[in-house]
Structure 1
Amino acid sequence: MQPFLMVERQASVVVARFNRPEQKNVISEDAQSEEIVEFCRTMTRDTSVRAIVLTGAGDAFCAGGNIKNMQQRTGMFGGSPFAVRSNYRNSVQMIGPAFQDLEVPIVAAINGPAIGLGLDIACMCDVRIASETAVMAESYVKLGIIPGGGGAWLLPRVIGPARASLMTLTGDTITAAQALEYGLVAEVVPQDALLDRALEIARRIAANPGHATRLAKRLMREGQDMKLGSALEMAGAFQALSHHAEDHHEAIAAFLGRRAPEFKDR
């Protein structure tokens, strides 16, 4: 069987695609979650990767969990209540912490439905853009369940509690235009321009020193749950590291010399 994540390297940018188009890229198997977790770890370890684009193969980004498995109570949905809790903790609930620890900036190119866990994963990304035909929903309650993959924590931080409550408690689907109005995505573009635009953004990120974008991302992530004083202490420590990086000195020299920098990820 093909890997769930199809990974392609383009210089310092990596493109990853959920690759079960015939199933709308649903995620319900332990191996799928483990593959995503390992991908995040690999990307963090490889300091030559400066940006990632995440999208879906076919006409969906990720349609959430496998509803047929829910109906049949098989796989992660099978067993006693205690077993189901454990199944979640050892599969899809590993994805959120893996994205939280992912140091490389990641751009979600939402090419189609991002439903349930699919929307949650999009919210784990740093930048989100969508095609004009994409739709999004935090639709768990429609199935009589709750956001099990971290959506109740993620969505309010992305779009605020008022709209997050509306989406979560109604389970209603929103259009790409509504997602733009909500601040859920940064841009909406034609379907045939989506990947090119996502790559353009990723390359603009990757044009900067990798240590700076990684540390800036970490600072923003940690700052969500810190007081200003603690955030400034972390910023001071990160800044001290940055000032001693070779790429920082190269950036300064290139700026003053009016030339393009040549970064070496050092």
Structure 2
Amino acid sequence: MTEQLITLKIENNIAMVHLNRADKHNAIDMAMFHALDKVSKKLRKNKAIRAVFLCGNGEDFCSGLDVKSVMNEQSNILKLLFKFIPGSSNLAQRVSTNWRKIPVPVVAIIQGRCWGGGLQIALGADFRITSPDASLSIMEAKWGLIPDMGANLALRELVNIDVAKQLAMTGKTITAEQALNYGLVTQVTDDPYQAAIEFIEPFIERSPDSVAAVKKLYNNNWNKKSWHMLAKESWYQIKVILGKNQQRAVKKQLKPDQAKDFDNRQNW
């Protein structure tokens, strides 16, 4: 990765991605934007991994945008916001939306500050497990901006619209417990890393194809019309049934002593 701003380690088919700029509270500069984009695209192609843990080294998960560094050159704004197709993700948005496209559960493990761009990154994950001392904020309002790094996709799924408006319009900083009550985080615990290990175990016990299919079905169709959800549901089910892993899942339930390990997942 670029200057090891992002580190990647894979153990037991769990990919551990760390924001590695602890001396700057993992604030996101241009190099980190590119490194996050690169590592998330790489993981999307890896059919062997079963989960991704998204972490920040040091006392904070991510304090947000490194404003001085990014604003140092006006061309950086164009690089972050430019896109060929209006409905696609630009570089700024891909640090959030890319995690949604990886066909395995992505868990953000959060401590300390998770502000601005840091929260945008974390909201791209499927689940967020935080320490009690974590604080979260959609910080863009304090700079006279709107949240524009792709996490609005998750916000509309997780919280009521009045809560989303309040957080995005004010830049209010909330505690981990408040975030849990709002539905922004999944769990608050004294040891979020260990909790993430325990949390992910039931997912790994299931077919990687059924897990991937559910993630794609829900992420891409949750807010679409009923007929669209029903059509995709049927199509994905056929694809799952035609794969080897569904047969192995049945064997694990009926004859566990004869069951084989799951194959790597199909293309999702």
- The answer to whether the 8 Å contact 1:25/1:57 transfers is yes
- The answer to whether the 8 Å contact 2:97/2:124 transfers is no
Which letter maps to 2:10?
R
Q: CA deviation at 1:110?
A: 0.9
Tell which deviates more after alignment, 235-244 or 139-148. 139-148
Q: CA deviation at 1:185?
A: 0.8
**What is aligned with 1:256?**
254
Tell which deviates more after alignment, 164-173 or 197-206. 197-206
CA distance in 2, matches of 1:239, 1:152: 29
Which letter maps to 1:116?
G
Which letter maps to 1:22?
D
- The answer to whether the 8 Å contact 2:96/2:151 transfers is no
Q: CA deviation at 1:93?
A: 2.6
Say if 1:2 and 1:124 are closer, same or farther in 2 by CA, change over 3 A.
Answer: same
Q: Flag structure 2 segments of 5+ consecutive residues without an equivalent.
A: 83-89
- The answer to whether the 8 Å contact 2:107/2:126 transfers is yes
Aligned residue pairs, count: 256
**What is aligned with 2:23?**
22
Q: CA deviation at 1:258?
A: 4.3
Which letter maps to 2:20?
N
Can you list the C-alpha shifts for 1:68-116, whole angstroms capped at 9, x where unaligned? Answer: 336xx314xx25xxx7344333532332342332222101111221101
CA distance in 2, matches of 1:228, 1:261: 37
- The answer to whether the 8 Å contact 2:98/2:124 transfers is no
- The answer to whether the 8 Å contact 1:52/1:202 transfers is no
- The answer to whether the 8 Å contact 1:65/1:116 transfers is yes
Say if 1:40 and 1:86 are closer, same or farther in 2 by CA, change over 3 A.
Answer: closer
**What is aligned with 1:56?**
56
- The answer to whether the 8 Å contact 2:130/2:187 transfers is yes
**What is aligned with 2:233?**
235
Which letter maps to 1:262?
D
- The answer to whether the 8 Å contact 1:63/1:114 transfers is yes
Q: Flag structure 1 segments of 5+ consecutive residues without an equivalent.
A: none
- The answer to whether the 8 Å contact 1:4/1:20 transfers is yes
**What is aligned with 1:168?**
168
1:84 to 72, 77, 87: 77
**What is aligned with 1:32?**
32
Which letter maps to 1:215?
A
Q: Secondary structure at the match of 2:4?
A: coil
CA distance in 2, matches of 1:2, 1:34: 11
2:203 to 202, 205, 224: 205
Say if 1:198 and 1:246 are closer, same or farther in 2 by CA, change over 3 A.
Answer: same
Q: CA deviation at 1:153?
A: 4.2
Q: How does the TM-score come out when normalised to structure 2?
A: 0.88
Q: CA deviation at 1:175?
A: 0.3
**What is aligned with 2:107?**
107
Q: CA deviation at 1:254?
A: 1.7
- The answer to whether the 8 Å contact 2:129/2:188 transfers is yes
Say if 1:222 and 1:120 are closer, same or farther in 2 by CA, change over 3 A.
Answer: same
Q: How does the TM-score come out when normalised to structure 1?
A: 0.89
Q: CA RMSD in A?
A: 1.9
Which letter maps to 1:237?
W
- The answer to whether the 8 Å contact 2:109/2:128 transfers is yes
- The answer to whether the 8 Å contact 1:158/1:184 transfers is yes
